[in-house]
A and B are shown apart, each in its own frame.
Chain A
Amino acid sequence: MEKPLHSSPIEFDSTESFARTEADQKIETQPRWKLWRAGMTLLALIVITLSAHWNLGLGTFSAFGWGPLRIACPLGVAQVIAATQTFIPYLAIAALATVVLTMIFGRVFCGWFCPGRWIFNRGPRASKQPWGARGWIQTGILAGVIGVAYIFHNPLFCIICPVGSICRGALAVGTGESILPSIGWLSALVGTEWLSGRSWCRDLCPVGALYSRISALNPFIKPKANPAKCHPCNACVNNCPETLALAKSPDLSTCTKCFACVSACPRDAVEIRADKVIDFIGNK
């Protein structure tokens, strides 16, 4: 039987014991965000698989919905419109619905729905830190993806997209096909991530980059370090998949609302601020 670390009277250290006790209490009071997120991703995958198995036609993360009620991946739609060089109104509306949802909830797709998050996403553990001009480089990758679609008349990124590859796997399970092609594409991407020494989700993924751009318009769900409680210890930045240091009030557009910072902070200093929502309602 292992004993709790701080139960021994010999190694007693008042500050450390204090911190641990608070952390211990936190575990009881905080929702277990990681579990909820994993559950949500799993649920989404099960819905995709069963919808294919029972031919409900709900679709995948690229395009999801029933009948005319559809949401669609904005990057896919942008590529298709660039590739066909035709504006497709009902497709654009489906992408707009996703944009509106992202404006309300932020980049939740990455934190809560994308299965890629559990496969890539080395975050702060990547051997290279984010690029200094990350914003510009990601805009460049995004423009490149859409430009390539335009030039070759083919939404080429969709073919290797991690989200799409995983959805293909889910469809394959639902319709009794082989999942090996999905594993093949995904392995190629994991290899790219490791060889580049970077984090796929933080530095490379164009889908995530586009959601971040849209999420810049989201005024609501924002984790903030309460300065009264926060003594910068880097627990947040070491756990944040986007390497955001909350003590330095960073630009939160890349935040995936995973709340790893909330779970990691030993002083309970991270708060999810909703004051804008309250202002918004109160000012009416």
Chain B
Amino acid sequence: MNPSKFTRREFLALVGGVTALSVTGLVLHPQSISAEVRPPGALAPNELFRAACLRCGKCVSACPHQTIRQNNERLPYIDGINGWCFFCMDCGIACPTGALRPVDPHSTKLGTAIIDRARCLAWTHLECHACYDQCVKLKQAITLDAQKRPLVDLKRCNGCGACVTVCPQSNLEGRSKEFGKAVALVAD
């Protein structure tokens, strides 16, 4: 047998390194601004949802658009980074505890999109209306002002997150996708 070039000490150092990195990441990783935006049909208030959610991730595995993510408490949340919510209610049907339950898609509001004008390309002189183009097809909650800068109608917006998905900003400044978008969902 040819002994592996990897010594035991190196192996342990590698395992220790990955471990230390992960624990540090867990402690230092900032919580997403959308961490309290729940999938549709979530029990309200948030304290009740926390109590009822089993953290099983069945909703995550059911969502056809991989919209639902788990925060560090393993609670499901929606930030629109991977995809937006189509209000198909698959998550509510899958949930074993009733923390999520199927509701009327037309009257549901998950949260509200807010635009960070300091980073939005349209508000900082580049021309961009990706979110507007997407929202027009869905909810018509984004309008353009005279200078073609996007504005969100807080009443019309249902928090689906499509504007976040399409926002190209994170790609330009080399920020992480998660924290670099110029538009984000916040809980109401």
Q: Which residue in A83, A164, A174, A184 is a CB contact (below 8 Å) of B61?
A: A174
B25 in contact with A184 (CB, 8 Å): yes
A159 in the interface (beta carbon within 8 A): yes
Per-residue interface assignment for chain B, residues 56 to 82, with 1 indicating a CB less than 8 Å from any chain A CB and 0 otherwise: 111011111010011011100000001
A129 in the interface (beta carbon within 8 A): no
B97 in the interface (beta carbon within 8 A): yes
A187 in the interface (beta carbon within 8 A): yes
Q: Which residue in B58, B73, B74, B97 is a CB contact (below 8 Å) of A88?
A: B97
What is the size category of the interface that chain A forms with chain B? 35 or more
For B62, list chain A residues within 8 Å (CB): 55-57
Given contacts A171-B70, A184-B26, A185-B26, contact A155 B61 (CB under 8 A): no
A55 in contact with B90 (CB, 8 Å): yes
A24 in the interface (beta carbon within 8 A): no
How many angstroms between the C-alpha atoms of A63 and B63 in the bound complex? 16
How many angstroms between the C-alpha atoms of A185 and B71 in the bound complex? 13
Interface segment among A72-80, A238-246, A248-256, A271-279: the answer is A72-80
How many angstroms between the C-alpha atoms of A101 and B60 in the bound complex? 26
B47 in the interface (beta carbon within 8 A): yes
CB of B49, distance to nearest CB on chain A (Å): 10
B96 in contact with A164 (CB, 8 Å): no
B55 in contact with A76 (CB, 8 Å): yes
Q: Which residue in B57, B93, B94 is a CB contact (below 8 Å) of A62?
A: B57
Nearest to A67 among chain B residues (CB) is B93
B54 in the interface (beta carbon within 8 A): yes
B154 in the interface (beta carbon within 8 A): no
CB of A38, distance to nearest CB on chain B (Å): 20
B61 in contact with A55 (CB, 8 Å): yes
B22 in contact with A180 (CB, 8 Å): yes
CB of A261, distance to nearest CB on chain B (Å): 29
Q: Which residues of B contact A (CB under 8 A)?
A: 18-19, 21-23, 25-26, 29, 47-48, 50-58, 60-64, 66, 69-70, 72-74, 82, 90, 93-94, 96-98
Q: Mind listing 17 A-B residue pairs with CB under 8 Å?
A: A55-B61, A55-B66, A59-B96, A76-B56, A80-B51, A80-B97, A84-B48, A153-B51, A158-B55, A159-B74, A168-B57, A174-B61, A180-B21, A180-B25, A183-B22, A184-B25, A187-B22
List 18 other contacts, CB 8 Å, given A84-B48, A180-B25: A57-B61, A59-B56, A59-B61, A59-B96, A70-B96, A72-B96, A76-B54, A80-B53, A153-B47, A153-B51, A154-B51, A155-B53, A155-B55, A158-B74, A164-B55, A164-B74, A168-B57, A176-B82
